């Protein structure tokens, strides 16, 4: 197969997907059918999708992403696979609708064999400085994954009150100095609009005690993470997406989810645990029909990257990988 001719798409080949072999190993049993279909719910630049398409010669991958640039570049990168790859611009909480339209059309109508989700911000978004995701480069404070809709980070900082900014930074960023940062943001914007990434990064640094700034990396990391999650409504989308993804998998199909933030992982853990737990009332001598677990957990807790991968790929340091197999119809909370 010839490599992509698009320079941006080809360049992303240097970005190594996190826990790739582990994801392949977990999902492989569900892909051993005649014409398997997998949904990559977080397409990005298509690194995971490319690896699966190369490994499984009869596999079709449906890639979902809300970012139109990701759709364009991943489609260029994966064009060599022809009709075995299809891209859909959507948020991944629309995964059930995508499965119904593009999944199996015979037995198991509207389902797929596997789902993969690699959550968080993609290398594409981090690398494109003008997107405003990174505190390391001066750029407009945007942070929208879909640049065609929604409020930017700058607009949120210009309109939200101290209480709301504090909530965002504390809840989504687990920032212990959230109230101090929020107060400084509101004071600063009275004279100077906060519209640039370096402005915000400097403001955060000035809000945090000097002793705290000496350890733990860039002090703006948690603030930028929190704003990105708020701008894109990531946790609410994820809470809708996981049960819908489970309901889109055929019996015997599998789902694997990679999280990089404790709040993401808690949502995934909760939904998987609910599916793996019987709902038969305690004390009954037999399992009630329809109350059996509808998931089987495939990982003991969450898998993490080993020290070797973490040293080679900094993004893998915080990853938590969970996977499950669909045992029966029904049962999901979607």
- Across the range 3-25, mean pLDDT stands at 65
What pLDDT, on a 0 to 100 scale, did the predictor assign at position 147?
80
- In angstroms, the CA 95 to CA 224 distance is 27
What pLDDT, on a 0 to 100 scale, did the predictor assign at position 280?
87
pTM: 0.86
Residue spans of the domains in the chain: they are 7-124+234-326, 129-232
- Across the range 60-73, mean pLDDT stands at 93
**Are the C-beta atoms of residues 297 and 232 closer than 8 Å to each other?**
no
Place of tokens 């709040």: 263
Q: What is the pLDDT of residues 267-321, one digit of tens each?
A: 999 999 999 999 888 888 888 888 899 999 999 999 998 888 877 777 788 899 9
47 belongs to an annotated ligand binding site: yes
Q: What is the 3-state secondary structure (H, E, C) of the chain?
A: CCCCCCHHHHHHHHCCCCCHHHHHHHHHHHHCCCCCEEEECCCCCCHHHHHHHHHCCCCEEEEEECCHHHHHHHHHHCHHHHHHEEEEECCHHHHHHHHHHHCCCCCCCCCEEEEEEECCCCHHHHHCHHHCCCCCCCCECCCCCCCCCCCCHHHHHHHCCHHHHHHHHHHHHCCCCHHHHHHHHHHHHCCCCCCEHHHHHHHHHHHCCHHHHCCCCCCCHHHHHHHHHHHHCHHHHHHHHHHHHHHCEEEEEEEEEEECCHHHHHHHHHHHHHHCCCCCCCCCCCCCCCCCCCEEECCCCCECCCHHHHHHCHHHHHCEEEEEEECCCCCCCC
150 versus 166: the higher-pLDDT residue is 166
What pLDDT, on a 0 to 100 scale, did the predictor assign at position 155?
96
**Are the C-beta atoms of residues 327 and 295 closer than 8 Å to each other?**
yes
Q: How far is C-alpha 46 from the chain's CA centre?
A: 13
CATH number of 129-232: 1.10.150.170
What pLDDT, on a 0 to 100 scale, did the predictor assign at position 199?
95
104 belongs to an annotated ligand binding site: no
The answer to whether residue 43 scores a pLDDT higher than 70 is yes
The answer to whether residue 236 scores a pLDDT higher than 60 is yes
- In angstroms, the CA 246 to CA 252 distance is 11
What pLDDT, on a 0 to 100 scale, did the predictor assign at position 9?
44
* Of the candidate ranges 37-41, 132-136, 227-231, 317-321, the one whose mean pLDDT is the lowest: 132-136
* 7-124+234-326 is classed CATH 3.30.70.3040: no
- Across the range 215-226, mean pLDDT stands at 84
137 belongs to an annotated ligand binding site: no
What pLDDT, on a 0 to 100 scale, did the predictor assign at position 1?
36
142 belongs to an annotated ligand binding site: no
Residues in the chain: 334
* Of the candidate ranges 67-76, 80-89, 137-146, 303-312, the one whose mean pLDDT is the lowest: 303-312
Q: How confident is the model at residue 214 (pLDDT cuts 50, 70, 90)?
A: low
What pLDDT, on a 0 to 100 scale, did the predictor assign at position 127?
56
What pLDDT, on a 0 to 100 scale, did the predictor assign at position 105?
86
225 belongs to an annotated ligand binding site: no
- Across the range 74-88, mean pLDDT stands at 97
Residue 59: is it exposed, middle or buried by C-beta count within 10 angstroms (0-12/13-18/19+)?
buried
- The pLDDT > 90 percentage for the chain reads 68
Q: Are strands 37-40 and 60-65 parallel, antiparallel or unpaired?
A: parallel
What pLDDT, on a 0 to 100 scale, did the predictor assign at position 212?
74
Q: How confident is the model at residue 2 (pLDDT cuts 50, 70, 90)?
A: very low
138 versus 5: the higher-pLDDT residue is 138
Q: How confident is the model at residue 245 (pLDDT cuts 50, 70, 90)?
A: very high
Query: Of 149, 141, 135, nearest to 233 (Cα)?
Result: 149
46 belongs to an annotated ligand binding site: yes
* Of the candidate ranges 122-131, 174-183, 225-234, the one whose mean pLDDT is the lowest: 122-131
**Which residues make Cβ contacts (< 8 Å) with residue 19, sequence separation at least 6?**
258, 303, 305, 309, 316, 319, 321
Place of tokens 């505190």: 135
Q: What is the pLDDT of residues 145-164, one digit of tens each?
A: 888 888 999 999 999 999 99
The answer to whether residue 176 scores a pLDDT higher than 50 is yes
Q: How many CB atoms lie within 10 A of CB 164?
A: 13
């Amino acid at each position: 197969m010839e490599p992509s001719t698009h320079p941006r798409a080809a360049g992303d080949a240097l970005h190594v997907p996190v826990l790739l072999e582990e994801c392949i190993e977990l999902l492989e049993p569900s892909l051993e059918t005649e014409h398997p279909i997998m949904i990559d719910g977080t397409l990005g630049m298509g690194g995971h999708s490319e690896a699966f398409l190369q490994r499984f010669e009869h596999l079709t991958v449906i890639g979902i992403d809300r970012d139109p640039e990701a759709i364009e570049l991943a489609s260029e990168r994966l064009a060599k696979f022809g009709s075995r790859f299809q891209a859909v611009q959507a948020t991944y909480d629309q995964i059930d609708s995508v499965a119904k339209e593009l999944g199996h059309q015979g037995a198991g109508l509207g389902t797929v064999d596997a789902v993969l989700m690699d959550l968080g911000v993609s290398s594409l978004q981090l690398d494109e400085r003008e997107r405003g995701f990174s505190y390391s480069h001066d750029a407009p404070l945007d942070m929208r994954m879909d640049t065609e809709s929604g409020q930017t980070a700058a607009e949120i900082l210009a309109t939200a009150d101290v209480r709301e900014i504090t909530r965002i930074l504390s809840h989504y960023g687990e920032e212990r100095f959230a109230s101090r940062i929020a107060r400084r943001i509101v004071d600063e914007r009275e004279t100077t609009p906060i519209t640039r990434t370096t402005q915000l990064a400097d403001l955060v640094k000035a809000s945090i005690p000097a002793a705290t700034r000496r350890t733990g990396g860039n002090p703006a990391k948690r603030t930028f993470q929190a704003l990105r999650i708020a701008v894109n409504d990531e946790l609410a989308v994820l809470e809708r997406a996981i049960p819908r993804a489970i309901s889109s998998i055929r019996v015997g199909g599998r789902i694997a989810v990679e999280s990089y933030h404790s709040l993401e992982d808690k949502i995934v853990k909760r939904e998987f645990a609910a599916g793996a737990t019987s709902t038969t009332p305690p004390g009954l001598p037999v399992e009630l029909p329809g109350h059996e677990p509808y998931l089987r957990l495939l990982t003991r807790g969450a898998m993490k990257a080993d020290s070797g991968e973490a040293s080679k790929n900094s993004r893998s340091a915080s990853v938590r990988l969970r996977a499950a197999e669909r045992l029966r119809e029904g049962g999901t909370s979607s």
